[in-house]
Amino acid sequence: MLYYIIGILLLFLIVTAYYCFKFAMIVLKIQDVLEESLDLLDQKYNNISQVLEIPIFYDSTEVKRVVREIEDTKNIILYIASNLTESVQEKAIVEDEEYIHTEEDE
């Protein structure tokens, strides 16, 4: 009787170990994809920041709206990246928290 119990527990141990290993591999793959995505987001954030530093010489409301949308997109990229990394950079997030402008701001 004791051998049956040990055999069943050993079988459960093998099945559990298999699924733990499988889950660990999935988590590692997701981590690699997130790290690559964050690198791409960081590159795009820097590119958008450089574009936004260029002064505008056109006073059209459409141009200003497009620039505001680009700035909003830059801030949303920062928001997504900081949420994905779960870093504790609250000061940087608060400074860039103006990532959504409504039509009323115009």
The per-residue pLDDT for range 1-56, each reduced to its tens digit, is 899 999 999 999 999 999 999 999 998 888 888 778 878 877 887 887 787 777 77
pTM of the model: 0.52
Measured on CA atoms in the order 77, 78, 80, 84, is the torsion positive or negative?
positive
State how far Cα 47 lies from the chain centre.
17
Give every CB contact of residue 73 below 8 A, 6+ residues apart in sequence. Answer: 48
45-90 pLDDT, tens digit per residue, is 788 778 777 777 777 777 777 778 888 887 887 787 777 776 444 5
| Angle, vertex CA 59, rays to CA 99 and CA 78, nearest 5 | 15
Give me the number of domains the chain comprises: 1
pLDDT attached to residue 96 = 52
Range(s) of the domain holding residue 13: 2-105
> How does DSSP classify residue 56?
P
